[in-house]
Amino acid sequence: MALLTVENLRTTFRTDDGPVCAVDGVSLSVAAGQVLGIVGESGCGKSAMSLSIMGLLPTSATVEGSIQLGEHQLVGMPKNELRTLRGSEVAMIFQDPMASLNPVMTIGWQLEEAVRLHQKVSRREARTLAVAGLAAVGIPSPEDRLKTYPHELSGGMRQRVMIAMALLNRPRLLIADEPTTALDVTTQAQILALMRDLRSEVDAAIVLITHDLGVVAEVCDEVAVMYAGRIVERAPVDELFARPQHPYTWGLLASLPGRNRAGERLHQIAGSPPSLMNPPVGCRFAPRCAMAMDVCRADPAPVLAAVAGSDTVVACHLDAATRAREGARFASDEESA
Ligand code: SF4
């Protein structure tokens, strides 16, 4: 059963130049113990969606639709109730740990405060939980680390501390927004391995936001591909890699480094995403799609529809045979690797 169910989410920012609809009618769900990847280029709305779920948007934003977390409806929930939920039932990991860690307080103080904010425990018990939390994310000599300040740790260690902090109160939902983007390749692999372990150990639902399908292949069960504020394809991760259906997904797969010969420049999707203030009529990917037809540039935009014989849904006007034939050129064994 789904722990998080998002239905018809619309997030709009008021700006001096007019409203910008960053998330436009997104629906998705994720169950406990499941990792859902949300993938897409910068500005596709994936971070706006995660901030909508966390209730961390600026006051210039309005959120419509439904975000149901267990028994809680988050849309319209008073700010103080949302604050209580954050850190206890839902936690977030950001790309930049320094954005969440206080540079002038020790790691130990910050972890203990995070525990005591949500659990009625003594300082000594909070310290025990903090040490266990650091050990669980593979930090050596966790007791000694409690005395250190964030700047004394490497980027990878800081990211581990932030993951430990996010998990301290056993949240039911963990949102990780580009958690490995700023890290070197080796540390990135370690953090992804850690997230894979957490998936089975902590029975939380995890939403992993990334621009990188390689990261999705490492840890996700399901993936939603976002483009210009909308989901254009959603599939179990093995199906997405074996039978990708949407031309935008094909472009993302083609740009995976492993698919290129040594020295060859990585494939890039031509053009750039549209302005969300004035998005194109019809399919928003049409200006960049090599297969666009007249129908693609007219209303109504294609809506998500089931692909026969699979658990995939896709929003594209191409017929099934063309999608299967063209998609086969981009299929990858990445996920099973
Ligand atoms: Fe390309 Fe048309 Fe499909 Fe959009 S609907 S992805 S433009 S073929």
Kindly give the number of the ligand 1 atom that is closest to the alpha carbon of 248.
Answer: 6
Average pLDDT of span 245-269: 73
Domains of the chain: 2-220 (3.40.50.300), 226-260+267-330 (no CATH)
Contact 38, 221 (CB under 8 A): no
What is the mean predicted confidence (pLDDT) over 6-33? Answer: 95
> Cα–Cα distance between 234 and 61 in angstroms, integer?
26
Please give the distance of CA 45 from its chain centroid, rounded to a whole number. 10
Cα(264)–Cα(189) distance, integer angstroms = 24
In this structure, the residue with its CA closest to atom 3 of ligand 1 is 316
Q: Is the pLDDT of residue 25 over 70?
A: yes
User: Which atom of ligand 1 is closest in space to residue 301's alpha carbon?
Assistant: 5
Q: Does the pLDDT of residue 194 top 90, yes or no?
A: no
pLDDT digits (tens, 9 = 90+) for 91-108: 988 877 777 789 999 999
Q: In angstroms, what is the span from residue 18 Cα to ligand 1's centroid? A: 27
**At a CB cut-off of 8 Å and minimum separation 6, what does 95 contact?**
177, 178, 179, 181, 182
**Element of type H or E holding 323:** helix 320-330
314 lines ligand 1 (CB under 6 A): no
* Ligand 1, pocket-test mutation among 246, 299, 303, 318, most atoms within 8 A of CB: 318
pLDDT confidence of residue 94: 83
Answer yes or no: are the C-beta atoms of 233 and 240 closer than 8 Å: yes
What is the C-alpha separation between 205 and 2, in angstroms, rounded? 9
251 in ligand 1 pocket by Cβ < 6 Å? Answer: no
Q: How does DSSP assign 74-119, residue by residue?
A: -TT--HHHHHHHBTTTEEEE-S-GGGTS-TTS-HHHHHHHHHHHHS
Question: Across residues 18-38, what is the average pLDDT?
Answer: 95
Residue 327: which of 199, 241, 260, 255 has the closest Cα?
241
Cα(107) to ligand 1 centroid in Å equals: 49
Q: How far is the CA of 247 from the centre of ligand 1 (A)?
A: 7
Segment 10-33 mean pLDDT: 95
How far does residue 109's CA lie from ligand 1's centre (Å)?
52
Q: Which amino acid is at 333?
A: D
Residue 157 near ligand 1, beta carbon < 6 Å: no
d(CA 285, CA 48): 19
**Rounded Cα–Cα distance for residues 173 and 69 (Å):** 8
Residue 187 to residue 275: CA distance in whole angstroms: 34
Q: Could you tell me what percent of the chain has a pLDDT over 90?
A: 64
pLDDT digits (tens, 9 = 90+) for 132-181: 999 988 899 999 999 999 999 988 889 889 988 988 888 899 999 888 87
Round to whole Å and give the CA distance between 12 and 165. 30
Ligand 1 in reach of 285 Cβ (< 6 A): yes
Q: What is the pLDDT of residue 263?
A: 44
Task: Identify which of 227, 233, 285 to mutate to test ligand 1's pocket (most ligand atoms within 8 A of the CB).
Answer: 285
Query: What letter would DSSP give residue 154?
Result: -
CA distance 198 to 196: 5
110-120 average pLDDT score = 92
